Every structure is written in structure tokens, then in C-alpha cells.
Amino acid sequence: MKNDLALRAARGEKTERVPVWVMRQAGRYLPEFRETRAEHDFFTICRTPVLACKVTLQPIERFDLDAAIIFSDILVVPQAMGMVVEMLPGKGPHFPEPLNTPDDIGRLNKPVNVSQELGYVFDAITLTRHRLEGRVPLIGFTGAPWTLMSYMIEGGGSTTMSKAKSWLYRYPAESHKLLQLITDVCIDYLVGQMQAGAQMLQVFESHAGILGPGLFAKFSLPYIRQISRGVKEKLSSRKLDTVPMIIFAKDAHFGLEDLSQSGYEVVGLDWTLRPQHARARTGANVTLQGNLDPCALYAPEVELVALVKAMLEKFGTQRYIANLGHGIYPDMDPERVKTLIDAIHSHSEYMNSAK
């Protein structure tokens, strides 16, 4: 491994500079991605290991990033469970037949054979590991159960998630049943990704904030915990080393203490949290990841560098992986991403040398 900074930071080992990667680093803000995307449908890229590998490597070839994340989508899990998901241009994901009532749970595949349904992701990971040649670690990922459940019921993006939330109030037992089915798939899926070569695993609970503390404690956190425990138990029963796991629960400021004790080595933060408060609330035993406002990339270059320096001063250089507080947007300038990465590296090296 030529650059294992991100893994060392995740394990709480000393790092000479702060590692950085960017959520959605492979995506439409890159002209080379748009070129590939013009030729192939979104899920065709996900399902074709040479294409998924190619776009995973695009940002690695362009920037001095410290980790790659396999190109895929969280919605491949509902697909593996038997649901149809389309990616509509300019609109995002669309489920033509979402789950309308708990009876629809009966339509889902169970149990799901992940090697059969998601083997293409495992193949893409193995190929990408080879092509990376140890340059940087490769991150695998899954959506967390509540976030996936919300898409399966809403049928796409939603601002209120009122359909999915209505299940939690009207059909709590059936909601738990669905969340458990999804959790079982997520565990096998992450273990499979790790066996295929993923060196770190991120769980995206992108829709945590909309739940509020009460629903989060009942319908999100228990499954997030089950995933870290389940993955680690399966790996150790197969005599495999565990890999660091990252939990990113967006807007779940109310759950930060619980998240820091949920079995993950790294807690991802969105930009609404103050770094020093987050440190104080999570303690010394987890690594933090984040949390620059993605829109800071619209600022003039000097301003962006100042924001990066301020962020580093607040987080410190250890037990820290720099990232944005959410994914990068398609209209952002790749040159600013270079500025971001280079500023994180140079300022953190300066901070470490000044000690």
C-alpha cells in the first residue's frame, strides 16, 4: 500500500498529513465522467465492472486523493431485493412500483443471494483494487436501512418523506420487519464487498435528520448498530481481518453521542456541526470525517483555502479524515476540488511540523 493515510486515520494511528476524499468524487462535475455517462445508462455503468472501475479511477487520476470509493449507488440494494429502479435524467432515481402498503413487502425477494444479485459490485471492487495497484485504499459502501426503506416507499427523492414516515407511525411492526430484511442484505453485501477487496466501508444514512431523535432511536440506530456488529462477527467467524467502518448519518446531530458508540471507527459529519463540539461529544475513540459545506467550493479560491485552514485548526490533524459534509454537486468546478485537496494536505503538514 503506497498511501494508507486514510486507513491509519480511521484506526486512530498517527498521520503525517490529513487524508482527504470527497463524497461523490466520481460524478457529473467531472467532464470525463459526463463523457462516459453520455455513452452509457447509469445502472449499466454500475453493472459493468470495467466501466464502474473506469469512473472510480477518474478522480484518482486527476487529483491527489487519499481514497477511492467504488462507483455504484445505494439503490442497488432495493434492486437486489427485487424492485425496479430507474435513473431519470435531471430527476434522479425513480421506482415505478414503490411499496404502498405492508402487503407489498411480500413482493420482495427473500432471502437475497447477494453474490448472485450484487456480484457485479464485488467484481468491480476486485478489478478496481487491481487497477489501483495500492495507490490509495478502496472504500465500499451501502445505504443504511432507513434511508433505503424511505426510497422504497417514496419511490424517489422527497423533501418530507411523509409516506415513508407514515409507515413508522401506522405500521411500526411491519416497518421493523422491512428494516430487518434490508439490514440482513446490507450485512452480507458489506461482507461481500470486503471479501472482494474493499478496505474501508461507509454506511450512508442520508435521511437520518428527517426522523428526529425519537424515530431515529427506534428505526435507524438499532439497524446501524446491527450492521457494524453483524459485519464484524461474520468477518471474524470467517477468520478475516475487519476493516474500518464509517457511519455517515446526515443531519443526525441529536444522535452524535450514540453514533460514536455504535461500533464504527469513523463518524462522518455534515457541515451543520461545529467540529469542536463534535469532538467533545464523540470522545477520543472515534475518528471524525467531514465536514466542509459543499457550497464552499463556489467561493473564490483564497476564501476556500481560508475555510479549509479554519476547518483543520478546529478538527486538528489526528483522528481526522477531511471530506465535504455531503456530496459534491454537478455544477462545481474541478479546479476548486484540486484547491481543496491541496490546501488540506499542505496546511495539515504545516500544522504537524509546527508542533
Considering only residues 15, 142, 199, 206, which one is a binding residue for ligand 1CP as defined by CB under 6 A? 206
For residue 93, give the DSSP letter.
E
Secondary structure class of 9 (helix, strand, coil): helix
- Chain residues 74-113 in contact with ligand 1CP, contact rule CB under 6 A: 74-75, 87, 92-93
Element (H, E) at 28: none
* Catalytic residue from among 8, 17, 37, 225: 37
Q: How far apart are the first and last CA of the chain?
A: 27
Burial label, 293 (beta-carbon count in 10 A; 0-12, 13-18, 19+): middle
What span, in angstroms and rounded, lies between the C-alpha atoms of 56 and 132?
10
Regarding 341 and contact with ligand 1CP (CB under 6 A), the answer is no
Regarding 4 and contact with ligand 1CP (CB under 6 A), the answer is no
For residue 20, give the DSSP letter.
B
Q: Is 229 a catalytic residue?
A: no
What span, in angstroms and rounded, lies between the C-alpha atoms of 64 and 78?
34
Regarding 312 and contact with ligand 1CP (CB under 6 A), the answer is no
Considering only residues 7, 20, 25, 137, which one is a binding residue for ligand 1CP as defined by CB under 6 A? 25
- Chain residues 136-175 in contact with ligand 1CP, contact rule CB under 6 A: 141, 157
Regarding 291 and contact with ligand 1CP (CB under 6 A), the answer is no
Phi and psi for 112 in degrees, rounded to 5? Answer: -90, 130
Position of cell 489501483?
Answer: 132
Regarding 24 and contact with ligand 1CP (CB under 6 A), the answer is yes
Which residue, 275 or 325, is less far from ligand 1CP as judged by CB? 325
What span, in angstroms and rounded, lies between the C-alpha atoms of 59 and 37?
15
Which residue, 146 or 204, is less far from ligand 1CP as judged by CB? 204
Helices (H), 49-208: 49-62, 76-80, 114-132, 145-154, 162-170, 172-196
Q: Is 28 a catalytic residue?
A: yes
Regarding 214 and contact with ligand 1CP (CB under 6 A), the answer is no
Considering only residues 19, 27, 140, 294, which one is a binding residue for ligand 1CP as defined by CB under 6 A? 27
Active site residues: 24, 28, 37, 73, 151
Which residues here bind ligand 1CP, judged by CB under 6 A?
A: 23-28, 37, 42, 69, 71, 73-75, 87, 92-93, 141, 157, 204, 206, 250, 327
